[in-house]
Amino acid sequence: MAMENNTQMTVFVFSGLTENDKLIPVLFTFFLMVYLVTIIGNIGIVILVLGASNLHTPMYFFLSFLSVVDLFYSTSVTPKMLSDLISLKKTISFNGCAVQFFFFAGLAVTEILLLSSMSYDRYAAICHPLHYVSIMTKSKCVSLVGFSFVMGFLQSVVQTSCLFNLHYCGSNLIDHFYCDAPPMLQLSCSKTLHCNMLTILFVGCYCSYSLSAILVSYTFIFNTICRIKSSEGRQKAFSTCSSHLVCASIFYVSVFITYLRSPSSALEKQDKVASVFYSVMTPMLNPLIYSLRNQEVKKAIMQAMRKSSHLIKK
């Protein structure tokens, strides 16, 4: 579908995840289950942190906000993707595309900054256990979360304004399953160098800042763990940060594959796979990883299940 060269685009069409009709029922069922697990898992983490007294610590304070971000982050993409899988026309309005990109970009950077705040928390807990309470005060935790949201959505305002003030007058086919900067920039008939540079700048700066914070924190953490004499102590110390490390690794690898590389048509399918990971799969995996690998969360889940069973019996 195309429009006249002097006409601004009002509707976009997604290419979607696949052109193979036989895969559509399988993909729809799979991603519907993923989304349901994402909703249940992330809401469950928030309720668990609020209700379990042993989880009223900075680590789980950050985890609860990470779950909130993951819930809305996934919701900005997945419901539309699911409806498009079973629709004949995968369309989205110009304004709808702008709104989707605004929330997606804002929540993505918020998640990146929250992950770095969580690494700082683990550094304080393992490297300075005696001063942990005085370092990670309630006001500092609130400030770090607030900083993550403010910076995340400030850069999203700039990126969205730049991207959707461009002129779109040719093809309206977005070769993706949601509105994202790289495929949108390919469609524009305006000069896109400034928006391209802005996207690379924001992704590069925020990812570099967050990744540096995580790497520096874990360098000190691993150094401290190696100095612990007992194997049981080392295992306990590492178990408190392994969940965060796994979640951060999955997220960053998929983001870097998509954004920080030279454009190549040979990598288009890999781009979509990477995008599925950080936009759809990661929000589901985060609560599962923390639930399966963290003893305190397991304990809180078991206590909640016992309380529920007692209430049912009564």
Check residues 229 and 113 and name the one with the higher pLDDT: 113
- Name the strand (E) or helix (H) holding 129: none
Q: What is the pTM of this model?
A: 0.87
Q: Is the pLDDT of residue 1 over 50?
A: no
Domain boundary assignment for the chain: 11-313
Name 107's Cβ contacts closer than 8 Å, sequence gap at least 6: 69, 72, 73, 76, 152
36 is written with which tokens?
A: 């349901």
Q: Burial of 86 by CB count in 10 Å (0-12 exposed, 13-18 middle, 19+ buried)?
A: exposed
Length of the chain: 314
- Fold of the domain spanning 11-313: Rhopdopsin 7-helix transmembrane proteins (1.20.1070)
Q: Which residues pair with 173 in a beta bridge?
A: 13
Q: Is the pLDDT of residue 4 over 60?
A: no
Helix boundaries (H) for 131-267 = 132-135, 138-163, 181-187, 193-226, 231-259
pLDDT digits (tens, 9 = 90+) for 20-66: 888 889 999 999 999 999 999 999 899 988 888 878 889 889 999 99
